[in-house]
Structure 1
Amino acid sequence: MDDAELYAKSSSLQQQFVNKVLQELWPALDWQCEQGTVLDVGCGAGDVTTYELLPRLPPGVSVLAVDISPAMIAKAADRFSGPRLCFRQLDIGTPRIEETDVWRLGPFPKVFSFFCLHWVQDQRLALQNIGKLLSPGGETVLIIVTGSPIYMMFETLSKSSRWSAYMMDYRQFEPPYVRTEDPVAVLTKYLHEAGFSVKTCRNEDSSYSSTDEQKVKNTITAINPFVGRIPQQQREAFLQDCVAEAYSNGTIRADTLPGGTVYSFPYSAMFAHAVKVHRVSRATSYSSNLHSNHTAGH
């Protein structure tokens, strides 16, 4: 099973949390313009876009969903492309956003990003790019992972003699906020710097739970960036070591309840709703001042 296929089968965690966040934030979003195209950044295999975002949109609004991975885009396009949903490749962390196809298709009235931005180490650049892709007054809704025991699992495995060669850069895959005391304050600061007015920004401890142990195992495998590096003949042994360490350090928890065993994967995530502030250019400001002075003189 390739990474995109596994990811497609393991999106329950994301759907669970996105559903909760969108239920809370959706009433605050402005849908005066009920036509056009919104952007979904980091769509993966397309499940969250298709099942959580698209059904909530006004009928005249379509989605352009983007991801850094060509394999994910190919999988998503094969499964979900339609009249209101199309897919393109984009790295939201590129320093040359103005040179991309997606830039030429904008600007967009809304930019959504669910469980994607924690992969981008340069948060300032990613948020500035989102700001550039938005229309003036446009809105963004973001969900960003801030922590989980899974990152301690990566650190432990990176120090094992068997796997260290494949995981020397494990810190590059930690969320930028994982060692931050107040992630909300940091994200809020970055959003302000990128030209946003922040309406909501909150960090929450959460947990994905299932009575199906394999679903939880699949979830931690799908978001494990090192699996693809391990030689095929050693991959099963690597995954077994991951699961053993996951149980050992609390990445996977098993609780015996009257109805059976519930397996859970704890994590924390921030969600934010922000509006791109209208910026009046000097030329426009000068022109309007002239107009108001002229009007006042009559």
Structure 2
Amino acid sequence: MRKASLYKRSNGLQRRDAKQTIEEFSHFLQWRSDGCDSLLDIGCGSGDVTIDFLLPILPTKFSKLVGVDMSQEMIEFARDQYPHPKILFEKFDLGVDLEKQQFRNEEPFDHITSFYCLHWVQNQEKAIQNMYKLLKPDGDMLLVFLAQNPIFEIYKQMSQSKKWAKYMIDCDNFISPYQYSKNAADQFGKLLYSNGFIEYSVEIREKFFVFEGIDLLKKSVKAVNPFIERIPLHDQDAFFDDYLNLVIKMHLSLDDIHTNSKTCRFLTPYKLIVAYARK
């Protein structure tokens, strides 16, 4: 479970944005009067955001908290790290019909949350349809995911390189569906409405994150890069070197890497979609 462990050690950006969003928007969630709420966290990854930021806001009498992820490695890691009598971690793919999966929940949930997951799902309509089905009547959800990020442009350019193309043939599957959208909030809002959500709010948040040093950037790239494990071990450093050259070419380096390589800072400007919706 090396990648799950690496992700947990390198997800500072994701943790920061999840924490800020929960602090700002969790009061919108319609908590039950009896305190027996159930919550589904989609794209739980290594489980640390689920445990550190969602568990504390649940009523003490909550009925269950379920974290799901399409990575079996992430699920096994979360189960091992966070045993709890009312918390489950299960494998689940948001972009696939519910009927075609082993994930079976006896009843819908009061709430759904998802942090840094939906941009991986190319079939956005199917994702929204699944979430609608997984919510109880009057159930609600809080979602945060990438609209635009320079990492997706880097993937696109690297996939056109002769050296890396054979490992990145499905590159477009790992680029946010909203990367080139002129109005991502409106586009996502229309999908919510057309699939049954009458009450909803969608906004774009412009953010940035600074990676302090080349080692932190490298760990972060390895933790989330969907192509790295396809590349032979002896070529992975070369892959990162080419990645880094594109970062510099895109003027995302805040320092001169040639004179200050170890402590060079790297800027990542990006746009988040933050959405609340109620069934």
- Output one character per residue of 1:109-165: Cα deviation in whole Å (capped at 9) or x when no partner: 001111101111000000000000000000011112111111111122112221111
Give the match for residue 296 of structure 1: none
Task: Letter of the 2:225 partner, please give it.
Answer: N
Is the CA contact (8 Å cut-off) linking 1:166 and 1:226 kept in structure 2? yes
Q: 1:274 aligns with which of 248, 272, 277?
A: 277
Distance, in Å, in 2 between the alignment partners of 1:184 and 1:15 is 22
Equivalent positions of 1:181-220 (< 5 A) are 181-220=182-221
Give the match for residue 85 of structure 1: 87
Equivalent positions of 1:30-109 (< 5 A) are 30-33=30-33, 34-61=35-62, 62-95=64-97, 97-98=98-99, 100-109=101-110
Task: Letter of the 1:83 partner, please give it.
Answer: P
SS in 2 for 1:127: helix
Measured after TM superposition, the shift of residue 209 of structure 1 is 2.4
Task: Letter of the 2:71 partner, please give it.
Answer: S
Count of residue pairs the alignment pairs up: 271
Task: Letter of the 1:68 partner, please give it.
Answer: M
Alignment pair present for 1:15 and 2:15? yes
SS in 1 for 2:105: helix
Query: Unmatched 5+ residue regions in structure 2?
Result: 257-262
Q: 1:265 aligns with which of 265, 268, 273?
A: 268
Distance, in Å, in 1 between the alignment partners of 2:238 and 2:269 is 24
Is the CA contact (8 Å cut-off) linking 1:143 and 1:269 kept in structure 2? yes
Farther off after superposition, 158-167 or 114-123: 158-167
Distance, in Å, in 2 between the alignment partners of 1:178 and 1:99 is 29
Residues 212 and 87 from structure 1, CA distance in 2 versus in 1: closer, same or farther, beyond 3 angstroms? same
Give the match for residue 282 of structure 1: none
Equivalent positions of 1:278-293 (< 5 A) are none
Task: Letter of the 1:126 partner, please give it.
Answer: A
- Output one character per residue of 1:60-104: Cα deviation in whole Å (capped at 9) or x when no partner: 223100000101111111111212322000111112x03545443
Give the match for residue 139 of structure 1: 140
Task: Letter of the 2:11 partner, please give it.
Answer: S
Task: Letter of the 1:79 partner, please give it.
Answer: Q
Distance, in Å, in 1 between the alignment partners of 2:23 and 2:122 is 29
Is the CA contact (8 Å cut-off) linking 1:209 and 1:216 kept in structure 2? no
- Output one character per residue of 1:214-244: Cα deviation in whole Å (capped at 9) or x when no partner: 2233223222111111112212221222122
Normalising to structure 1: TM-score of the pair? 0.85
Larger radius of gyration: 1
Is the CA contact (8 Å cut-off) linking 1:145 and 1:267 kept in structure 2? yes
Give the match for residue 248 of structure 1: 249
Residues 266 and 216 from structure 1, CA distance in 2 versus in 1: closer, same or farther, beyond 3 angstroms? farther
Residues 212 and 93 from structure 1, CA distance in 2 versus in 1: closer, same or farther, beyond 3 angstroms? same
Alignment pair present for 1:111 and 2:112? yes
SS in 2 for 1:253: coil
What percentage of aligned pairs have identical amino acids?
32
Measured after TM superposition, the shift of residue 22 of structure 1 is 1.4
Farther off after superposition, 37-46 or 202-211: 202-211
Is the CA contact (8 Å cut-off) linking 1:188 and 1:198 kept in structure 2? no
Task: Letter of the 1:170 partner, please give it.
Answer: C
Equivalent positions of 1:157-236 (< 5 A) are 157-236=158-237
Residues 242 and 140 from structure 1, CA distance in 2 versus in 1: closer, same or farther, beyond 3 angstroms? same
Distance, in Å, in 1 between the alignment partners of 2:43 and 2:106 is 17
- Output one character per residue of 1:234-270: Cα deviation in whole Å (capped at 9) or x when no partner: 12221222122223224x43259xxx86533222110
Is the CA contact (8 Å cut-off) linking 2:37 and 2:58 kept in structure 1? no
